[in-house]
Amino acid sequence: MNILITGIHGFVGSNLIVALKERHSLYGLDIITPEKEGVINTFSWKDIDPASFPMQNLPKFDAIIHLAGKAHDTKNQSAAQVYFDINTGLTQKIFDFFLESSAKKFIFFSSVKAAADSVVGDILTEDVIPTPVGPYGESKIKAEEYIMEHCALPTTSPFGDSSFQKEENKIDLDKQVYILRPCMIHGPGNKGNLNLLYNVVRKGIPWPLGDFENRRSFTSIDNLCYVVEGLLTKDVASGIYHMGDDEALSTNDLITLMCEVLGRKPHIWKMNKRMMEGCAGLGTLLHLPLNTERLHKLTENYVVSNAKIKAALGIDKMPVRAEEGVVKTIKSFLN
């Protein structure tokens, strides 16, 4: 297949190149256009400007993977409009190009944060009514809505059942559109939250929140690449799909795995929950690093169902176990 990948120089894009280059012809679309091994050519965003239609200088693509976006700024230092300009605006632009192109498949990388900032209940499924919090999740759901305005994707009603949009303005049924909502993606080369926690563990700083047994879903980059390959090559129904590893892990699990890789004994202190919550409350009043909001984020449950995507691909389990993927990521931090 001829595949166009936006944001090809990012973490996920770089890994997709490695996973797909042997079987497909890959092209890039990015804000920078240097040569990249495994990529035939990288175009700039102006090359797909509507004023350029018909775009005779571009090859005919079979599929488009839209990765480009503004990542979640956990320090909350980015202006809200930047998220909408990039996450919503660029999605609209590339999806309009997809509608005009010969491409038959479109994969949009959204986020579980477009569905929910916190999980209500035991597990987050595609049936949830989206309630994003903050400009990152809100800009992603706006992008999803734009896509769903133009094609027949299943939508969720306020009553939780699924229905299909079939208005006359929807795209032809010979095109397939996938909105992929991964939870936290990690792997070698990624400098995300796992790296921050690793640096705390590496310095020998005890973890005082061991009394909180939270469970969180993660997405191994290897499992993610496997799913993308499946969406490209199999006849999977258009729709919204959540993405995560099969097993959820606690923060205590992560710290234990990190210590195993480092060859150390984990220092997990099970400080009393009520006492830590009191300390966090005091931290909120005194503007200290540990406050109520941060304690909640560090200890909350966020388990994401991957049952729908596995059923669509016809598999019983993901190829890489959660622990295996995390250990691979941690070992990359040693280099």
Confidence of residue 290 (pLDDT cuts 50, 70, 90): confident
Cβ-based neighbours of 45, under 8 Å, separated by 6 or more: 29, 31, 90, 93
Q: Which helix (H) or strand (E) holds 20?
A: helix 11-20
| Spatial distance between the Cα atoms of 264 and 48, rounded to a whole number of angstroms | 52
Is residue 144 in a domain? yes
pLDDT at 194: 87
Is residue 220 included in any domain, yes or no?
no
pTM (whole model) above 0.85: yes
pLDDT for residue 161: 39
The predicted pLDDT at position 51 comes to 67
- Mean pLDDT score of the chain: 88
| Pairwise pLDDT comparison (233 vs 157), residue with the higher score | 233
Give the Å distances, CA to CA, from 138 to 152, 249, 287, 304.
Answer: 22, 27, 27, 19
Residue 176 domain-assigned (yes or no): yes
Kindly state the average pLDDT of the residues 105-114. 96
CA nearest 262: which of 333, 187, 188, 194?
333
Return the top range by mean pLDDT from 21-25, 166-170, 296-300: 21-25
Sign, Cα dihedral of 123, 128, 130, 136? positive
At 62-107, the pLDDT tens digits run 999 999 998 866 555 568 898 999 999 999 999 999 998 999 999 9
Measure the CA–CA gap between 12 and 300, rounded to whole angstroms: 26
CB 28 within 8 A of CB 16: no
Structural domain includes residue 316 = no
Q: What is the mean pLDDT of residues 179-184?
A: 96
Question: Per the structure, how many domains does the chain have?
Answer: 1
pLDDT at 162 over 70: no
Strands (E), 44-143: 63-66, 105-109
Residue 242 lies in a domain: no
* Beta strand residue intervals within the chain, DSSP E: 2-6, 25-29, 39-43, 63-66, 105-109, 154-156, 162-164, 176-182, 185-186, 219-220, 239-243
Residue 6 maps to a domain: yes
Q: In this structure, is residue 291 part of a structural domain? A: no
| Residue 38: domain span | 1-182
pLDDT (tens digit per residue) in 305-324: 999 999 999 999 999 999 99
Q: Residue 58 falls within a domain, yes or no?
A: yes
- Model pLDDT, residue 307: 97
φ and ψ of 150, to 5 deg: -115, 0
From residue 335, give the alpha-carbon distance in Å to each of 30, 189, 237: 28, 10, 41
**Tens-place pLDDT, residues 7-50:** 999 999 999 999 999 999 999 999 887 889 999 999 989 888 86
Which amino acid is residue 157, in one-letter code? S
The bridge status of strand 63-66 relative to strand 2-6 is parallel
Mean pLDDT of 158-186: 67
User: Can you give the CATH number for the domain in which 138 is found?
Assistant: 3.40.50.720
The highest-confidence range among 57-66, 195-204, 291-300, by mean pLDDT, is: 57-66
Checking if the pLDDT of 158 tops 80, the result is: no
pLDDT at residue 121, rounded to an integer: 83
pLDDT at residue 156 in the model: 46
Percentage of the chain beyond pLDDT 70 is 89
Contact criterion met (CB below 8 Å) for 40 and 26: yes
Position 167 pLDDT exceeds 60: no
